[in-house]
Amino acid sequence: MFFSKILNNDTGGRIFLSILLIVTILIPFLNIVVSPESPWHLSTYTVTIIGKYLTYALLAIAVDLVWGYLGILSLGHGAFFALGGYTMGMYLMRQIGDRGVYGNPILPDFMVFLDWSELPWFWYGFDQFWFAMIMIIFVPGLLAFVFGWLAFRSRVTGVYLSIMTQALVYALMLAFFRNELGFGGNNGLTDFKDILGFSLQLDSTRIGLFIASSVALAAGYLASRALTNSRLGRVAVAIRDSESRVRFIGYRVENVQLFIFIFSAIMAGIAGALYVPQVGIINPGEFSPINSIEMVIWVAIGGRYTLYGGVIGALLVNYSKTFLTSAMPEVWLFVLGGMFILVTIFLPKGIVGLMNKYRGANG
């Protein structure tokens, strides 16, 4: 079977996908079938939060792909995530139509507010869902291609590349804060009404988005696993371990790096596109460098070079973030900073590494 071929020797992946399958079935069940009075009932709010976490998990897999398998520490994956989100946001904005505050059938509210008379050219076509879907893949992919092509061709690696990616996301954040750019400036895109004709306020739409996120996560995991199992994936690991040697053997290192970088960027973009309709807003804050670096810590905590480790890290960190920022907001940065320090020093292989070590000691 197709799956078993991919998941051959991947016990962790099988466990992860099984749990994901159970969760995907159980959560809508707990939300819809179980009556609201029962303690087992899950509110739609919780379902949406879990859906949001699942998009983060997909993003974590994308980060792990370039960091764990290619050895590139990208501090700018938030850029691809946010671009995917903005692309989806543009579709959702066009769907509002004349239901906005100003009632303009073509122009989104913020453009009316800025006294713009016509739609900028880059907003054309976003009233079509299929076009938006293509752009969700195309826009982050294009940015990854241009940046990666320039960077890998001149053999920028290591900390240089990391800082460059951070500078990239920082520059994009500054740019998106500008009203002139045509993406809503400071406030970003919000007030979405519906997606594909389904109101975003409806519970059923939210459940649908949750299931879509879950499916995307599973598909992303399988695609990434297939990639890492392939010859290309093994070359990537070889590049991570000794770039010069692989180059001397005769591989075009930059092409491998570029391919995986773009693949990962597209995955991050899809995650962003699923994230936006669930949280209902996308603004330039998503580009802030600290967001991008947080994604890296998810992977570091879960465990690099495992793919599912990133998922564990993303869920764990974000759950504690949701919990702590409401319970003790001033403690959160201490905890996050402490995680960065402790995990890198004491848990270089993350939680998955710790579990493997424990299992190895027993078995």
List of residues contacting other proteins (CB under 8 A) = 67, 73, 147, 150-151, 153-156, 158-160, 162-164, 166-168, 170-171, 174-175, 177-178, 289, 293, 296-297, 300, 330, 333-334, 336-341, 344-345, 348
Nearer to other proteins, 1 or 341 (CB): 341
Token reading at 173: 């954040």
Residue 282 CA to residue 288 CA, distance in Å, equals 12
In the chain, % helix, strand, coil (3-state, to 5) comes to 75, 0, 20
Least distance between other proteins and beta carbon 201 (Å)? 35
Nearer to other proteins, 164 or 226 (CB): 164
Least distance between other proteins and beta carbon 229 (Å)? 25
> Which DSSP category does 108 fall into?
-
Residue 17, SS3 per DSSP? helix
Nearer to other proteins, 103 or 337 (CB): 337
Residue 282 CA to residue 298 CA, distance in Å, equals 21
Least distance between other proteins and beta carbon 265 (Å)? 17
Token reading at 348: 């270089």
Least distance between other proteins and beta carbon 357 (Å)? 18
Residue 225 CA to residue 10 CA, distance in Å, equals 9
Long-range pairs for 24-32 at CB < 8 Å and ≥24 separation? 24/210, 24/211, 24/214, 24/215, 27/210, 28/207, 28/210, 28/211, 31/203, 31/207, 32/203, 32/207
Nearer to other proteins, 164 or 355 (CB): 164
Check if the beta carbon of residue 51 is closer than 8 Å to that of residue 278: yes
**What end-to-end distance do the CA atoms of the chain give, in Å?**
30
Least distance between other proteins and beta carbon 172 (Å)? 8
Nearer to other proteins, 2 or 346 (CB): 346
| CA 118 vs CA 46, 178, 235: distances in Å | 40, 18, 49
Nearer to other proteins, 7 or 339 (CB): 339
Nearer to other proteins, 120 or 338 (CB): 338
Check if the beta carbon of residue 3 is closer than 8 Å to that of residue 222: yes
Least distance between other proteins and beta carbon 256 (Å)? 19
Least distance between other proteins and beta carbon 318 (Å)? 16
Per-residue DSSP letters for 239-308?
HHH-HHHHHHHT--HHHHHHHHHHHHHHHHHHHHHHHHHHH-EE-GGGG-HHHHHHHHHHHHHH-SSSSH
Nearer to other proteins, 16 or 287 (CB): 287
Least distance between other proteins and beta carbon 334 (Å)? 5
